[in-house]
Amino acid sequence: MRRFLSIFVTLAIMVGMTACGTEKAQSEAVKPAEAVVEEAKEEELIEEVDEEPVEEPEETIEESASISYPLTITDQAGREIVIEKEPETIVSGYYISSSLLIALELDDKLIGIEAKAGKRPIYKLAAKELIDLPSVGSAKEFDLEGCAALNADLVILPLKLKDAAATLDDLGIQTILVNPESEELLIEMIDIIAKATNTVDRAEELKTFITANKDMLNSKLEGVETKSVYLAGNSNVLSTAGNKMYQCSMIELAGGENVAKEIEDKYWVDTDYEQILTWNPDYIIIAAEAEYTVEDVLGDEALAACNAVENGNVYKLPSDAEAWDSPVPSGILGSVWLASTLHPDVISSDECKGIIEEFYETFYEFKYGEE
């Protein structure tokens, strides 16, 4: 009898253990996801996650993926271009795209460049080797034969060279046409070239810098009294820019108002002294590449009655690295500098200097202001 009871107890324990195991398995099978996450946290198998994770823009996430070739892009002439492979050799026939290629860390792939490269300070400061590259000429005198002879994987040209691009395409040389004549078109050009050259991540850094400083200016200058500005052109003080030119948006972003904004022309236009005196701007800003000086304008008797001259508010845009009054990648610095000139109580000269130095150290690897 005792032996029988012993066997019975043993069997009962075994049945109980089996039932417990079954119940545990069923419990784990229907365990809520929250419980699984909590256990994983305790076991340090996953990291703590915020309840509301920060989502990256879909475009950034998509573009951050590795570019695959062949790749079809649409250039700024509306042409569809098939990029067969990641370019290893590039020709740039336009100083704006050349400057961008340096910022995208592609200057070592350049084998040909636009004319007069030796006169551009940015090359001397950031990529001296570009100065000695073969010249393919300018939009006015393009060396089509010389460009074709370089047999580059990719050629980048200004929109004005549309016919030359068609010829190069016929020769099997992939060519992109660009037209960065406004802030929006500049960003579009950055995206097109970055995608074609598989440098999207670097381009995102550049665009983030531009956007961050644009937002900074908009925030700091909100509600600040607008200053009227006359932008004197490269050729002479009687040349100016209307509202369809890049320079107009540069002035507006800096907390200024372009007195010539009613001019609809897309290029520099001539005016006269009477018109400037009628506009009577608070400031006269001279284009970066102008050959005349601040002293020339201050000493111009025909402008003596102008508010800007009377108050000594005549300044020339810096040209130590690039002409910021043009749609180059560093163009945002033109607005930062101008804002510090028009509104020094809001954007200090030290803050302006810091932004300029950060830009060139980050994207061109030199310290601004030092030879």
pLDDT per position as a tens digit, 300-326: 999 999 999 999 999 999 999 999 999
Q: What does the pLDDT read at residue 57?
A: 45
How sure is the predictor about 371, in pLDDT bands with cuts at 50, 70 and 90? low
Where is 256: in which H helix or E strand?
strand 256-258
Cα(130)–Cα(280) distance, integer angstroms = 43
The amino acid occupying position 356 is I
Q: Is the dihedral of CA 222, 224, 230, 231 positive or negative?
A: negative
Per the DSSP assignment, residues forming a β-bridge with 285 are: 231, 315
Asked if residue 10 lies in contact with residue 18, where contact means CB atoms within 8 angstroms, the answer is no
Averaged pLDDT, 154-180: 97
How sure is the predictor about 33, in pLDDT bands with cuts at 50, 70 and 90? very low
Q: What does the pLDDT read at residue 6?
A: 43
Side-chain-side CA neighbours of residue 229 (13 Å):
33
Cα(76)–Cα(143) distance, integer angstroms = 22
Q: What is the mean pLDDT of the chain?
A: 86
Within 104-198, residue ranges assigned H as helices are: 121-126, 144-150, 162-170, 183-196
CB-based contacts of 88: which residues, under 8 Å, 6+ apart? 109, 153
Per the DSSP assignment, residues forming a β-bridge with 82 are: 72
How sure is the predictor about 67, in pLDDT bands with cuts at 50, 70 and 90? confident
User: Does residue 258 surpass a pLDDT of 90?
Assistant: yes
Q: What does the pLDDT read at residue 109?
A: 98
Q: What does the pLDDT read at residue 65?
A: 52
